[in-house]
Amino acid sequence: MDLSVAAAHVLGDAGAFNASVGRRGRPVAVVGRDPRASGEFLEAAVVAGLASSGVDVLRLGVLPTPAVAYLTTALRADMGVMISASHNPAPDNGIKFLTRGGHKLPDTVENEIEQRLGEKWERPVGASVGRVREAYGEADRYVSHVLSTVEGRLDGLNVVLDCAHGAAHMVAPEALLRAGATVETIGARPDGLNINAGVGSTHLDRLQQIVISRNADVGIAYDGDADRCLAVSHTGEIVDGDQIMAVLAMAMHAEGKLIGDTVVATVMSNLGFKIALKNAGIDVVETAVGDRYVLEAMRAGGYNLGGEQSGHVLMLDHATTGDGLLTSLHLLAVMAREKKSLAELASVMTRLPQVLVNVKDVDRSKASVPELAAAVSAAESELGETGRVLIRPSGTEPMIRVMVEAASADQAEQLAGRLAEVVRTACV
């Protein structure tokens, strides 16, 4: 979202007020950002709001969102703030708040902060105002942490890293080099305006070309704030979040480290992912779309691996949020330990053709009308166990999403088109 300086200042103020409620002593906040030009002055506004409200602030500089989450805990801060719009283009920006322990705020706390925007309260003066200190050197603490979670080294692996001109442009190459990999980077020269511009996990074409032309073993692509990653095999094939989770799940399962022999994924994960894990003796718990719901289910069940097809992977043994650098290091470590190519590892699952149609300008509340339910039932009968259908109303727009997976792309497209037409006629 777009943020004015004034809004950022007020958000910092409201966040500080929330952090200080019911706490003795002066609260401490860590603040990080991605390299967007707007982040420079939005950071100043947020820091001003926090410090003028009596919060001591540690400015971390440009770091990934998961680094800010980790350092919120490691530095015993009362809250963390990340200024980033993730995979969005440079003109966008946003503010993410983290609680003690490095967790994203629950809805109730977000609502509490929103209600307190602009609220009058007794402000500190004199020696009671917060102090601001630079803490740029804490990036090394984060790199050392992620490296400490990986068994073995990456010697002999030739890796191309696409850092999206984003928050990982320093820490990701440093971590892989320290782990022993040979690293070539693209998207590692942020100028404040080029974040995610033709690079990163949402633009993999260039990475695919370079991996093939350099005869590299693997390519890794992060998004702007590096809380997710996707990969490219030595043949140029894209390896998505489902495949990455499948590789990690099977490696952890073999080592007895996959809690409950269960992985948490969303309803959008490919059916091939679920079939592959079932065949390996691993259960899959499904949630609604969104890393928040994945995390809730993981906490409720005590599970330690989950994520989304987009490459947002949560490894709760080592992090409180999705962490692209952590995920990529563990993926590369499996390659190194098993002496297998990423293509070979990813072949443990067959990704079924998946077609998604967004039917706009319809009444999303009618996603379960009898006509559509009958059409879905007929499509499911046709697919049998070789595919599936998912009808999902948008949470924010007048739109219904139709997703079909099938044994062939033609069948998936035909069924998705047929169901989309039913939505257009029955859901108005």
Q: Which residues are within 8 A (CB) of 213 and not within 5 positions of it... i.e. 6 or more apart? A: none
86 catalytic residue (yes or no) = yes
Contacting residues for 359 by C-beta, under 8 A, at least 6 apart: 399, 400, 401, 402, 420, 423, 424, 427
Closest of 192, 184, 178, 179 to residue 62, by C-alpha: 192
Place of tokens 């996959």: 258
Beta-carbon count within 10 A of 19 CB: 24
CA distance 92 to 223: 14
**DSSP state for residue 384 in the 8-state scheme:** G
Cβ burial, residue 151 (10 Å; 0-12/13-18/19+): exposed
Q: Under a CB-based contact definition with an 8 Å cutoff, are residues 322 and 293 in contact?
A: no
Beta strand residue intervals within 24-87, DSSP E: 28-33, 56-62, 79-83
Phi-psi region of 25 (alpha: psi -120 to 50; beta: other; left: phi over 0): left
Look up tokens 């950071």; give the residue.
Answer: 43
Query: What is the spatial distance between Cα 309 and Cα 327, in angstroms, rounded to a whole number?
Result: 13
* Phi (first) and psi of residue 72, to 5 degrees: -60, -40
The answer to whether 293 and 266 are in contact (CB under 8 A) is yes
**Catalytic option among 86, 201, 233, 269:** 86
For residue 68, the SS3 value is helix
The catalytic site residues sit at 86
